Amino acid sequence: MKNAVAEGLSEIERLQRQVFPSGSEWFFPHYAGYSLVNLPASIFQWLGADAPAALRPPLAHPAFQQWNTRFDTVILILVDGIGLDWMQNTLERASRDEDLRFWAHLPAESVLAPLTSVVPSTTATALVSLWTGALPAEHGVIGYELFLKEYGILTNMITFQPAVFGEGNATLRLAGFNPETFLPVPSIGRALNEQGVGVQVLLHRSIARSSLSQMLYAGAEIFPVGSPGDLFVTLEQVVTQRTPYPRYIHAYWGAVDEAMHRFSPGNPRVWREWLMFTQQFALFFREMQKHSRGRTLLLFTADHGHIPTPRRAEFEVRRHPRLMDCLTMVPSGEARLPFAFVRAGKERAFQDAVAELWNGRFEVLPATEFVQTGWLGKTTPAPCLWERIGDFVILPREDYYWYFGLKENTLLGRHGGLSRAEMLTPLLGVVL
Mean pLDDT of 136-159: 96
Residue 166 pLDDT: 63
Confidence tier at 191 by pLDDT (50, 70, 90): very high
Give the global pTM.
0.97
Q: How far apart are CA 131 and CA 108, in angstroms?
A: 30
Q: Are 109 and 2 in contact (CB under 8 A)?
A: yes
CA angle 284, 211, 269 (to 5 degrees): 45
Mean pLDDT of 324-337: 98
Report helix angle 268-290 to 228-240, nearest 10: 20
Q: Are 128 and 134 in contact (CB under 8 A)?
A: yes
Mean pLDDT of 164-170: 72
Q: How far apart are CA 266 and CA 416, in angstroms?
A: 18
pLDDT digits (tens, 9 = 90+) for 112-142: 999 999 999 999 999 999 999 999 999 999 9
Mean model confidence pLDDT for the chain: 96
Q: Does residue 428 surpass a pLDDT of 80?
A: yes
Measured CA distances, 255 to 76, 165, 185, 409, 427 (Å): 17, 22, 29, 20, 19
Q: Are 304 and 122 in contact (CB under 8 A)?
A: yes
Q: Are 416 and 105 in contact (CB under 8 A)?
A: no
pLDDT digits (tens, 9 = 90+) for 8-25: 999 999 999 999 999 999
CB atoms within 10 A of CB 334: 28
Q: Does residue 145 surpass a pLDDT of 90?
A: yes
pLDDT digits (tens, 9 = 90+) for 24-66: 999 999 999 999 999 999 999 999 999 999 999 999 999 988 8
Confidence tier at 235 by pLDDT (50, 70, 90): very high
Q: How far apart are CA 315 and CA 301, in angstroms?
A: 32
Mean pLDDT of 392-398: 98
Quote the distance between the C-alpha of residue 170 and its chain's center: 25
Q: Does residue 392 surpass a pLDDT of 90?
A: yes
Q: Does residue 318 surpass a pLDDT of 90?
A: yes
Q: How far apart are CA 213 and CA 205, in angstroms?
A: 11
Residue 168 pLDDT: 67
Confidence tier at 350 by pLDDT (50, 70, 90): very high
Phi and psi angles of residue 153, each rounded to the nearest 5 degrees, phi first:
-150, 150
Confidence tier at 167 by pLDDT (50, 70, 90): low
Q: Which residue has the higher pLDDT, 52 or 171?
A: 52
Domains of the chain are: 2-308+420-431 (3.40.720.10), 313-414 (3.30.1360.180)
Q: State the amino acid at position 395 in one-letter form.
A: L
Burial string for 338-354 (b: 16+ CB within 10 Å, else e) reads: bbbbbeeeebeebbebb
Q: How far apart are CA 219 and CA 187, in angstroms?
A: 9
Nearest CA to 287 out of 69, 111, 296, 96 is that of: 296
Burial class (CB in 10 A: 0-12, 13-18, 19+), 167: exposed
- Secondary structure of residue 216 in the 3-state scheme: helix
Mean pLDDT of 301-311: 98
Q: Does residue 169 surpass a pLDDT of 80?
A: no
CB atoms within 10 A of CB 107: 14
Residue 407 pLDDT: 87
Nearest CA to 329 out of 383, 390, 384 is that of: 390
